[in-house]
Structure 1
């Protein structure tokens, strides 16, 4: 859960790889030491060049591959020919889960907290809480909306973050915990960080009349929010 939540994009990108030939072409490009031409990729999987081009370009459209243009002969100037279109694996990472999980966010909070605590000597738990709140504030700032209701503003932001919020009068229940598996093993730590994160989202949104609080219950997030 960052300022660019991407579950739908990642699911769509992963679905693109469900086509067997497309996945084989992706693997050819991903495993190559250098960028690959459509002819090279087509030869390795045994399909015509035009068929390989169609699937490779689809992978480019989804952000899974990138394109560069280069003369393979190494020659330059007049008569050297047109640069070849080459494909290479993109730096983009894909991850998706149903229901939504954000273990990368939790890992980043803990890693940054440990690094900061190691250099400053401050208690790691205290630093982790501060980092979680800062992360939440950054997320909230990116999702400011014009909704008059502060609680609705928070619901919109947390929905984008995968929390599955549900408004219940002046309270906001969160039906999904993005850190569920780790929270089952380290409940006090993770729920405390989650509370700080959601509180930070409130800060970033400017929801000064909304308060996040711990309210654990089976089958939902341990945090809820209420508006005064």
Structure 2
């Protein structure tokens, strides 16, 4: 369970509290940042209740704060800027099991762009985009001094693959593109194969290779020791 997952669950769980949920919905429904006074009046709660819960929503990563004076007021004697609240800039999504359709969409968007720009077949562009994405993920992870199997396990865990040690490599117990794979298995399995292969390239895992090895209830790709059985 990654730190990002825990943070996202904590953020979403904050909205289970009814007053907090009402305040959040009020803030995000407005075109401009909202003051505590406006939020309290708009939701029918006491000012001190609005203050406490708005600040909790900030602490949980759902809202952000900015300070601004009302229009027309400035200079000496204008008073302190008002504390205003707006929707936080980060995306928050929690899926169980983990899914990462954004990552699949990013690979496909890069492939379509590359195919149009370079005039290469889409299948070739998709292979290149998935491999490049995998390398980018691997390079961003760091930890070069650790064993390759440990590093790739940590990287793929972070992206929802649920890696598990096996007799001759690593099993990926979850497909982060599950719904897409059910409808377009050949396409998505190819993306998985090239993406995982790109991660292995990036971390220099020469003794490991990604292989298509579909089986019910898990990802269609496994990571095998090159010296193990085919």
- Normalised by the size of structure 2, how large is the TM-score? 0.93
Q: CA deviation at 1:148?
A: 4.7
Match of 1:195 among 193, 196, 200: 193
The answer to whether the aligner puts 1:22 opposite 2:23 as a matched pair is no
Q: CA deviation at 1:73?
A: 4.8
Rate the CA distance shift 1:148–1:6 in 2: closer, same or farther, 3 A.
closer
Rate the CA distance shift 1:51–1:211 in 2: closer, same or farther, 3 A.
same
Q: CA deviation at 1:127?
A: 0.5
Contact 2:152 2:199 in 1 (8 A): yes
> Unpaired segments of 5 or more residues in structure 1?
none
Q: Choose between structure 1 and 2 for higher RCO, CA contacts under 8 A separated by at least 6 residues.
A: 1
Once residues 124 and 4 of structure 2 are traced to their aligned partners in structure 1, the CA distance between those partners, rounded to angstroms, is 29
Rate the CA distance shift 1:5–1:133 in 2: closer, same or farther, 3 A.
farther
1:137-175 per-position Cα deviation (integer Å, ceiling 9, x unaligned): 111112233565322221121112111111113310010
Which 4+ residue blocks in structure 1 deviate beyond 6 angstroms? none
Name the counterpart of 2:102. Answer: 104
Where 2:205 maps in the other structure, the secondary structure is coil
Q: CA deviation at 1:7?
A: 3.0
The answer to whether the aligner puts 1:77 opposite 2:61 as a matched pair is no
> Unpaired segments of 5 or more residues in structure 2?
none
Match of 1:149 among 137, 147, 150: 147
Contact 1:5 1:160 in 2 (8 A): no
Where 2:160 maps in the other structure, the secondary structure is coil
Q: CA deviation at 1:74?
A: 2.3
Name the counterpart of 2:112. Answer: 114
Contact 2:169 2:208 in 1 (8 A): no
Once residues 5 and 80 of structure 1 are traced to their aligned partners in structure 2, the CA distance between those partners, rounded to angstroms, is 43
Contact 1:132 1:196 in 2 (8 A): yes
Name the counterpart of 1:169. Answer: 167
Aligned Cα root-mean-square deviation (Å): 1.6
Once residues 70 and 26 of structure 1 are traced to their aligned partners in structure 2, the CA distance between those partners, rounded to angstroms, is 20
User: How many residues get paired?
Assistant: 225
Contact 1:5 1:161 in 2 (8 A): no
